[in-house]
Amino acid sequence: MEAINAEEPLNSTAGNTVEEVIEHTAAKTIVNNAENKTENQYQMVCVDLDGTLLNDQHMPNPSAVSALKTLMAKGVHVVVSTGRHPVDARYYASLIDLGAYYVAANGAAVGKVNSKKLRFAQTMDAESLRQLNALSIEYDLHPIYYSETYIYIESLGVYLFHLFNNIRYKQFLSKRLVYVPGHRRMQKRILRDHAGILKVVLFINSPEKADAIERLLREQTTLEVARTFKFTIELTRNGVHKASGIAELSKQLGVASEQIMAFGDSDNDVQMLAYAGCGVAMGNAAEHVKALADATTLDNNGEGIRAMLERHFDLSN
Indicate whether 29 belongs to any domain: no
Indicate whether 114 belongs to any domain: yes
One domain, residues 154 and 230: yes
- For the question of whether the overall pTM of this predicted structure is more than 0.95, the answer is no
Indicate whether 4 belongs to any domain: no
One domain, residues 69 and 85: yes
One domain, residues 116 and 144: no
pLDDT tens digits for range 155-201: 888 889 888 877 776 566 778 899 999 888 888 888 775 558 999 99
pLDDT tens digits for range 74-94: 999 999 999 999 999 999 999
One domain, residues 246 and 102: yes
Check residue 19 and give its pLDDT. Answer: 53
Q: Where does a domain end: 176, 204, 236?
A: 236
pLDDT tens digits for range 212-250: 999 999 998 889 999 988 899 999 999 999 999 999 999
One domain, residues 248 and 116: yes
One domain, residues 286 and 270: yes
Domain that holds residue 227: 129-236
One domain, residues 85 and 172: no
Indicate whether 7 belongs to any domain: no
Indicate whether 22 belongs to any domain: no
One domain, residues 173 and 245: no
Least Cα distance to 220 among 101, 138, 314 occurs for: 138
Whether 271 shows a pLDDT value over 60: the answer reads: yes
Q: Where does a domain end: 216, 236, 256?
A: 236
One domain, residues 97 and 152: no
Q: Where does a domain end: 236, 259, 279?
A: 236
d(C-alpha 113, C-alpha 116), whole Å: 7
What share of the chain in percent tops pLDDT 70?
85
What share of the chain in percent tops pLDDT 90?
67
Q: Per the structure, how many domains does the chain have?
A: 2
| Average pLDDT for 66-72 | 97
CATH of the domain at 216: 3.30.1240.10
One domain, residues 50 and 114: yes
Indicate whether 280 belongs to any domain: yes
Mean pLDDT of the chain: 86
pLDDT tens digits for range 20-46: 544 444 433 333 333 333 456 999 999
